[in-house]
């Protein structure tokens, strides 16, 4: 059962209805149940209990607490934790030196008093939007299994982070987003995910996939909670000025992002557009032909493949057979790319960002489905490379726009109760995080009103 949002939890504690420690005990008990299989790679029960007890004692003594203090938070297994080897979802890293310090994101969560429950599963080296991991197992999507009841993908690469929040094992899952790795699992698991502008949050101590695109961020159950977690990770709160839905200008892209939508996704998204428009938002059709250029501009290989190959070159040459074959195939795309081609990648991207910023001027956000498809069956994608890479490409297609733009984006649930999970995404250019957050709060409020 999912946990309430942070505001509700803190109210419950203030009224004496629960304590941080009591809630944490329930979380740890549920983390051992079969439905949580493959969600965690490591648990920290004693350290988490200590943080919960500290929060209860501090509250009892009248000490003011931040919104995360004493509440369970999970950490994707690509962040350094002192004294541990950071596996990043792989077996290649087994035996590597242990971390000498916590990643900055982990340090800041600890300083905020968060009860770090454990490290969560992920795609190997964060290089897939599907969430399947052949080495350590794949957590099943808690939000939907379809009519036949077969386990569905949670999305990736922050698979365990999403499942931990969806199962009620955390108020927030620290993950990362290189091409959509926060927003894809958030959309597929019915959560809220926030990819901030990359420069907002430090990446020190996070195992690298793509230094150009990697973003430190998290998913929660509400926009307000994402904003609260972001304030901790960035060590600087966004100055969000609440605004009404009326008057918001949202660009509806005529290129790429509305293509090949599965019927359930198209229906939920169209219903959301209708409700937002009725609530006073201005939905403006915008051609945005620039979006069709990304595939060509990001060739050959793309930033993730080129930069991942640089990270893994030695291991790749010596023991490629130990990599997830599907991850290895993507890393290999970076091997033949020359320095001149890599520099051209950056130059082309810089020009494209300038043109997109100009095209989006005057809009509060770009609005689209987060992903065009529903969660696929795990076994179907495990069995077929063709099905896997088709699903992976579709899952990453819309979300990658924000990463390539060096922008910021929210994914919000827009499906009705009882329907398969569908995400609605709001995307804006880099540095517009506070403005985007205000728009996301207004959109979320309208979508929630229409669901009740």
List the catalytic residues: 76, 157, 181
Could you please report the per-residue DSSP string of 127-169?
--SS---TTT--PPPSS--TTTT--B---SSSHHHHHHHHTTS
Contact by Cβ (8 Å): 108, 124: no
- Alpha carbon distance 261, 414 (integer Å): 15
- Alpha carbon distance 236, 234 (integer Å): 5
The two beta strands, 249-253 and 282-286, are parallel
Q: Report which of 66, 67, 31, 71 is spatially closest to residue 53, judged by C-alpha positions.
A: 71
Strand partners, 194: 218, 410
The two beta strands, 115-120 and 192-195, are unpaired
Q: Report which of 431, 413, 434 is spatially closest to residue 422, judged by C-alpha positions.
A: 413
Contact by Cβ (8 Å): 202, 105: yes
Q: Is the peptide bond preceding residue 300 cis, with omega within 30 degrees of 0? A: yes
Strand partners, 369: 424
């Amino acid at each position: 059962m999912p946990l309430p949002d942070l505001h509700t939890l803190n109210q419950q504690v203030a009224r004496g209805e629960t304590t941080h420690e009591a809630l944490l005990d329930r979380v740890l008990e549920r983390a051992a149940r079969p439905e949580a299989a493959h969600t965690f790679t490591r648990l920290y029960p004693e350290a988490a209990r200590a943080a919960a007890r500290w929060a209860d004692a501090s509250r009892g003594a009248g000490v003011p607490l931040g919104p995360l203090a004493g509440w369970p938070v999970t950490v994707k297994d690509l962040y350094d934790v002192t004294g541990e080897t950071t596996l990043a979802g792989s077996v290649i890293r087994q035996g590597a030196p242990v971390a000498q310090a916590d990643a900055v994101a982990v340090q800041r969560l600890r300083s905020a008093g968060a009860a770090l429950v454990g490290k969560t599963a992920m795609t190997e080296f964060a290089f897939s939007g599907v969430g399947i991991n052949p080495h350590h197992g794949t957590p099943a999507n808690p939000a939907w299994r379809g009519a036949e009841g077969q386990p569905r993908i949670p999305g990736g690469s922050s698979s365990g982070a999403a499942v931990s929040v969806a199962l009620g094992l955390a108020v927030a899952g620290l993950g990362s987003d290189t091409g959509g790795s926060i927003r894809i699992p958030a959309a597929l698991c019915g959560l809220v995910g926030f990819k901030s502008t990359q420069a907002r949050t430090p990446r020190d101590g996070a195992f690298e996939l793509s230094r150009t695109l990697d973003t430190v961020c998290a998913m929660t159950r509400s926009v307000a909670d994402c904003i609260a977690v972001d304030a901790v990770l960035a060590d600087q709160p966004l100055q969000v000025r609440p605004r009404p839905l009326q008057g918001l200008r949202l660009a509806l892209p005529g290129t790429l992002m509305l293509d090949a939508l599965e019927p359930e996704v198209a229906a939920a998204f169209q219903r959301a557009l209708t409700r937002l428009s009725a609530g006073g938002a201005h939905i403006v059709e915008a051609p945005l032909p620039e979006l069709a250029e990304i595939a060509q501009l990001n060739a050959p290989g793309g930033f993730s493949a080129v930069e991942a190959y640089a990270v893994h070159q030695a291991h790749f040459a010596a023991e490629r057979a130990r990599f997830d074959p599907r991850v290895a195939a993507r890393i290999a795309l970076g091997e033949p790319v020359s320095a001149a081609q890599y520099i051209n990648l950056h130059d082309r991207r810089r020009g494209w960002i300038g043109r997109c910023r100009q095209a989006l001027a005057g809009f509060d956000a770009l609005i689209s489905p987060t992903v065009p498809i529903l969660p696929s069956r795990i076994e179907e994608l495990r069995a077929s490379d063709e099905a896997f890479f088709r699903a992976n490409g579709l899952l990453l297609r819309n979300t990658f726009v924000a990463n390539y733009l060096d922008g910021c984006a929210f994914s919000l649930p827009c499906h009705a109760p009882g329907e398969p999970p569908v995400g609605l995404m709001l995307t804006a250019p880099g540095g517009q995080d506070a403005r985007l957050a205000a728009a996301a709060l207004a959109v979320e409020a309208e979508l929630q009103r229409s669901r009740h």
